[in-house]
Amino acid sequence: MVIPICYRSSISQSHTFFLSFPRNALSLGSVLNYKRSSSLVFCTQSELSPAQLEVSLCVGSHLIPHPRKVEKGGEDAFFVSSYNGGVVAIADGVSGWAEQNIDPALFSRELMANVSYLVEDEEVNYDPLILLKKAHAATSSIGSATVVVAMLEKNGTLKVANVGDCGLKVLREGKIVFSTSPQEHSFDCPYQLSSEMAGQTYLDAVISKLELMVGDTLVLGSDGLFDNIFDHEIVATICRFNDVAEAAKALANLAKEHSRDTNFDSPYIIEARSRGYDISLWKKVLGLKLTGMTLHQLLKSWSHSYFCSYANSK
């Protein structure tokens, strides 16, 4: 899953999108720019005067599930709202649950649905950590997911909470000036919010807070984006497009292209080799990677014994 996303300074009415991936959808991406402009994608102008300009959110997205997951539209979900300055959240369902005949998409989609229900809750108080806490507690599906939540204040302050390897990058003047860091038990075994006690909780989230500047671009995504595209490619792609939807599509297609190129050493492949894993050619041809933990392996993690199994790449 790929989500590059754009913020722009504007006057907008509050509106909400909750998206789980549709059947037969082919790709996902979103791009966020932070600019002073009254021309917005997916944003409508309010009756407020220009003196009351406030930050709002616009999004372009594009979905490309793994070829073996196209029929169910993938295993990820995301949520976008223009509430306050704007909210974006991504949940990446952990594929290993499929080995227990559990649909990995159910947990991620319910988690994002709960985020959408609770984002304006008074107890949440526009805090991504509390939002994660309450949304996770309200999720009853069996499974687990990595997740990132970004909440933009109207004054330009961005608050981020992430668990696992969903991530966010901030681009400024053609450079990446901020990146979230993935959390792992061991290589390719990311932290995750789970239905099981052995999983992580909101207390394990990494919290970040930063001030955006006019012209900043935010790129959010799951490991399906960041495992397959280098930072310099993200920067080069974003610089080619003014339209957020086109930028999102281009990033998604580039990730797809790299994932199918058996001669391309992706960030994931390079990281694997640096940790002593030999990614054989046949695994690259089949699109296999070390990913997620099965129920049995997840329970083992409670005793600090972490294992990963081969499963389909995302």
**Higher-scoring residue by pLDDT: 18, 9:** 18
Q: How far apart are CA 158 and CA 174, in angstroms?
A: 19
41 burial via Cβ count (<10 Å: 0-12, 13-18, 19+) = middle
282 burial via Cβ count (<10 Å: 0-12, 13-18, 19+) = exposed
- Average pLDDT on 231-255 reads 89
Q: How far apart are CA 132 and CA 89, in angstroms?
A: 10
Amino acid at 38: S
Alpha carbon of 68 to those of 71, 74, 166: distances in Å? Answer: 8, 9, 21
* Neighbour-count burial for 270-280, b at 16+ CB within 10 Å, e otherwise: eebeeeeeebe
Per DSSP, the residues of 222-285 read -HHHHTT--HHHHHHHHHH-SSHHHHHHHHHHHHHHHHH-TT---HHHHHHHHTT----HHHHH
Q: How far apart are CA 253 and CA 248, in angstroms?
A: 9
* CB proximity list for 173: less than 8 A, separation 6 or greater: 215
- Closest listed residue to residue 95, CA positions, set 17, 188, 167: 188
* CB proximity list for 232: less than 8 A, separation 6 or greater: none
Give bridge partners of residue 2 from the DSSP assignment.
Answer: 62, 221
Q: What is the pTM of this model?
A: 0.79
Query: What is the phi/psi pair of residue 44, to 5°?
Result: -120, 150
Query: What is the phi/psi pair of residue 8, to 5°?
Result: -135, 140
Contact yes or no for 34/213 (Cβ under 8 A): yes
How many CB atoms within 10 Å of residue 176?
16
The pLDDT score that the predictor gives to residue 43 is 27
Domains, the chain:
2-312 (3.60.40.10)
- Closest listed residue to residue 143, CA positions, set 293, 288, 289, 1: 293
pLDDT single digits (tens) 48-106 = 333 344 555 566 777 777 667 766 667 889 888 888 888 999 999 998 898 889 999 99
**What pLDDT band is residue 178 in, cutting at 50, 70 and 90?**
very high
pLDDT single digits (tens) 198-238 = 789 999 999 999 998 877 888 999 888 999 999 999 999 99
Amino acid at 204: D
Please give the mean pLDDT across all residues of the chain.
75
Per cent of the chain over pLDDT 70 is: 67
The pLDDT score that the predictor gives to residue 249 is 86
